Structures are given as structure tokens and as C-alpha cells.
Amino acid sequence: MIQESKFRPSIASTATGLISALFLFSMPCPANAQPVASEEQKVAAAQKAAQQYSACKGIAPFYWEIGNGAKLLASGSTGDGSIRRDTSFPIASASKWVFGAYVIQRLKGQLDPRTEKSLKMMSGYTNLSATSCIFTPTVQACFDKGSNATYSPQNDNKFFYNGGHFQKWAVDHGLGPMKRDEVVAEYQKQLGTDFHFSFGAFQMAGGIKTSAENYAIFLRKILNGQLLMKNFLGANPTCTLPRQCSQAARSPVHMAWHYSYAHWVEDDPAGDGSFSSPGAFGFYPWIDATKTYYGIISRLHRTDREGGEIAAGAASAQCGKLIRRAYFSGTASNE
């Protein structure tokens, strides 16, 4: 038989427990505990960063936005306000993410070894000149021009940032005879007809012209799992800096970012692990490391060679990271 005194707590122990509980509830929050920012605070912080931070003032005018899979959360136009959400222009290497998503969707996520190497820029086709395909009528004509189709065995299995990898894959997979409008239609079979864009320079890695409004449709599709690219974000990344690893031959990014399937992984010591595809003219799209939010900086800065050193893209990435940080924290007091 169980003794009642062993089953019920004593009056004294009950009182002690109540006093302890009251003491804990009355204790102040730890000094380092941060209150959760409201959505209004997040938006205000992002707007302040875009308007006032030196890294962002230096690249104005531009349009920026942050959203999730459902809607636009924060946005604005800086400088003279000339760039809006629907302003369309060449996005240079931000085209790479679109091509990668098209390839992965077309292959239903089943990538053969050659496709893996192509999307991670390790195929050895490293001689495509970024400015050589402005007037070429087909994908094949771009690839055949000059030394664009030259294979460099010394660069095979090494990361080498160049549009030749993607152009070679396109030629090998039936896109060679296609003209610009035909490639757009081919892409839209996989990415959806609601994503509107066109081609200027006719190379897969850097020729798309579109707006932030349209690119946001593409990014939301990734976030929502409508495109298989979501499963490939940050997957199997490769080192990109020649000074740090023997499997890298050339990178236009001087941070210790890695490269995944047609996109960068911002995982350097100062980075936050976001996925991105900055272009030479300053267009900068990103998805955060949790695959919950997307963002865009939209601008046109023509002094950099498309596909070459992406100084304008790197500048946009720095501003974009600060806007992203301000939004997530709800504060923009320090750069």
C-alpha cells in the first residue's frame, strides 16, 4: 500500500516551489537577450540601410526588394528614383542562375557527370569571350565565333569562371540552332510562361534582359519548391579561389565564396551563407541560407565587361548583404 505522505508533496515543499516560481518570473531578462523585431521595424531598418549606408549610397540609383514565397515584404528606389521594379535591362551573370534552373528542371534533377561539371564551371570550356555574341543569331553561332568553342584540358575539373561551360552544354543538348525567341520559349517550358525575359547578347551565361519584377517571380518559384533548383541550392559546392585550392583556376570574386550549381554560396568568414548570382552590371539576386527569403538589387552599371571582373556586382552584393542584415535584425545603426 502506497503511503499518502510519499505520494503528495508536503505543504512546505509546495510553498517553496511557489516562492521559487514567483522569483523566477520576477527576474529581469538577460542583458544580451534581444527583443524580436516587428515587421514594421524590419522594413524601416532595410529602408534606412538602402538610403543611408555608404555602401548603398555609392551604387545609387537602384531599386531593391525583399520578399518571401508569398509576397513582397519591403522595397524602395534610391537616388533619383529612375529605377523601378518594372525597369528592364541586361542582368549579365544573373542569367546563370536562370540557366541552371532550366537545366535542372529539364533533367528532372537527375544530373549526369558532364552536366554537373558544366553547371559548376569545371568542364574545360573556358575561352568564350563575353562580348563576342552580341550580334550572333543562334546559340551555335555564338559558340562557333572566334575561340569560344576551344576546349582547354588544363582547366578540366577546375573551377574557371567563364560562359563557355553553359554554351557548350546548350549546343550539346539541342539549343544550338535556336534563335533568341526560341530559347526564351524553351526556357519557359521548364520555368513557366509567367517569367518574362529576352536575350540581348546571345550567351546562356550572361545574355538575359529582364526586370526585378520578373526575376522575383523566378526566385519565388525556387522558394516555393516549384523549381527543383531549391534542392540544389548550395549543394556540393566547389572552392573558387586559386590561392586557396588547387581545383580552382579563375574567379572574378575575391571573397572566399564557393560555387554550386550555376550560383554562388556566400560562405566566406564575413558572409551569411546566402545563395546569389551577381551580374557584371550590378544586378544582384539572392536567397537567404534558410531558403525562406529572397532579395534583389536592380541597377545598370556598364563599365564592367560582362562575364569579366564583376566589380559592379560585388558592390551590389555588399549593399545587398547590409540591407538583408538590417531587415533580419530590425536595426540599421551600424554598417
What was the pLDDT predicted at 69?
98
| 304 has a pLDDT exceeding 80 | no
What was the pLDDT predicted at 26?
38
Q: What is the mean pLDDT of residues 143-158?
A: 98
Q: How far apart are CA 174 and CA 171, in angstroms?
A: 6
All structural domains of the chain, each given as residue ranges with its CATH number in brackets, are 40-329 (3.40.710.10)
What was the pLDDT predicted at 130?
87
Q: What is the mean pLDDT of residues 37-56?
A: 97
What was the pLDDT predicted at 10?
39
Question: Which H or E run contains 102?
Answer: helix 95-106
pLDDT > 90: percent of the chain: 84
Helix (H, G, I), strand (E, B) or coil at 31: coil
Specify the length of the chain in residues: 335
| 225 has a pLDDT exceeding 90 | yes
| 8 has a pLDDT exceeding 70 | no
Cβ burial, residue 142 (10 Å; 0-12/13-18/19+): buried
pLDDT > 70: percent of the chain: 87
| 334 — pLDDT class (breaks 50, 70, 90) | low
| 12 — pLDDT class (breaks 50, 70, 90) | very low
| 47 has a pLDDT exceeding 80 | yes
| Residue 120, all three cell numbers | 559548376
Tell me the per-residue pLDDT of 86-132, one tens digit each, with 9 for 90 and over: 999 999 999 999 999 999 999 999 999 999 999 999 999 999 998 99
Q: How far apart are CA 285 and CA 298, in angstroms?
A: 8
Q: What is the mean pLDDT of residues 205-212?
A: 98
| 36 — pLDDT class (breaks 50, 70, 90) | confident
Question: Which H or E run contains 114?
Answer: helix 113-119
Tell me the per-residue pLDDT of 177-195, one tens digit each, with 9 for 90 and over: 999 999 999 999 999 999 9
Burial 190-222 (b: 16+ CB within 10 A, else e): bbeeebebebbbbbbbbbbbbbbbbbbebbbbb
Q: What is the mean pLDDT of the chain?
A: 90
What was the pLDDT predicted at 303?
62
What was the pLDDT predicted at 332?
86
Give the least confident one: 106-110, 167-171, 307-311, 329-333: 307-311
* pTM of the complete model beyond 0.85: yes
